[in-house]
């Protein structure tokens, strides 16, 4: 049976079902509902802007985009975006997708917090970013019908999203603070973690081991 929310069909494929089950089992309701809203909002923005993302790749990208906050997938310390991107790529390859398709999802997730760049890339990468921006900070919300947003939130409630989502960032990043250098993630730690202070690019240049 086809599931449709706010005029957007959820792809009915084995990979989509597996991704949904995986995220529900390994994250929490906050991340699950946020990720589904990202897919739905991203799909609506893509439609509005004349983009044609592959629904399956967009769905997997949306579902895995914040998975790295809860489960660092690599043995090395790296940005949480890369943890999620690496796992999504492995997931897609395990489910028979081509390396090029898996790379699209990797880029969409790796760049989803990077301002300005995703919108200049492919449809799946742009739509993932647009969905994230809408759900997190309200970008583009005014461009959608109120009924569309209401339908999405009714299907996937926000709860105390602002408070709880920021706490997810704190919990996911406080033990690897160096990975937030040069990213919006440093904003969260600087606000919530006592004693944390971001290193600036000016400091990195002036403290470099060069005489001049």
CB 51, CB 127: distance < 8 Å? yes
> What's the pLDDT tens digit per position in 88-102?
999 999 999 999 999
pLDDT at position 39: 98
Q: What is the dihedral sign for C-alpha 141, 144, 150, 155?
A: negative
Domains of the chain, residue spans: 3-158
pTM of the entire predicted model: 0.95
pLDDT surpasses 80 at 64 = yes
DSSP secondary structure of 93-143:
HHTT--HHHHHHHHHHHHTTTSTTSGGGS-HHHHHHHHHHHHHHH-TTGGG
Q: Which helix (H) or strand (E) holds 82?
A: helix 80-94
- Residue 33 tokens, joined: 């509902």
Calculate the CA dihedral of residues 186, 104, 78, 134 and round it to 10 degrees.
20
**Residue range 3-158, CATH number:** 1.10.3210
Cα dist from 136 to 15, 18, 56, 146, whole Å:
26, 25, 22, 17
The DSSP symbol for 74 reads: S
> What's the pLDDT tens digit per position in 186-200?
999 999 999 999 999
pLDDT surpasses 80 at 72 = no
pLDDT at position 74: 75
pLDDT surpasses 80 at 130 = yes
pLDDT at position 186: 96
> What's the pLDDT tens digit per position in 19-51?
999 999 999 999 999 999 999 999 999 999 999
């Amino acid at each position: 049976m086809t599931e449709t929310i706010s005029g957007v069909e959820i792809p009915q494929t084995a990979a989509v079902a597996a991704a949904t089950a995986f995220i529900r089992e390994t994250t929490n309701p906050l991340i699950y509902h946020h990720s589904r809203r990202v897919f739905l909002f991203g799909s609506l923005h893509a439609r509005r802007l004349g983009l044609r993302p592959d629904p399956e790749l967009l769905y997997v990208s949306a579902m895995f985009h914040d998975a790295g906050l809860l489960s660092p997938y690599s043995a090395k310390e790296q940005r949480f975006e890369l943890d999620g991107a690496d796992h999504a790529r492995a997931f897609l390859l395990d489910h028979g997708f081509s390396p090029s398709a898996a790379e699209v999802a990797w880029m969409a997730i790796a760049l989803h917090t990077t301002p300005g760049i995703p919108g200049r890339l492919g449809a799946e990468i742009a739509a993932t970013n647009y969905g994230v921006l809408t759900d997190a900070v309200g970008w583009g919300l005014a461009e959608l019908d109120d009924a569309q947003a209401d339908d999405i939130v009714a299907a996937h409630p926000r709860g105390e999203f602002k408070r709880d989502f920021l706490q997810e960032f704190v919990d996911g990043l406080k033990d690897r603070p160096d990975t937030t250098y040069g990213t919006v993630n440093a904003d969260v730690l600087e606000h919530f973690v006592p004693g944390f202070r971001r290193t600036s690019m000016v400091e990195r240049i002036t403290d470099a081991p060069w005489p001049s």
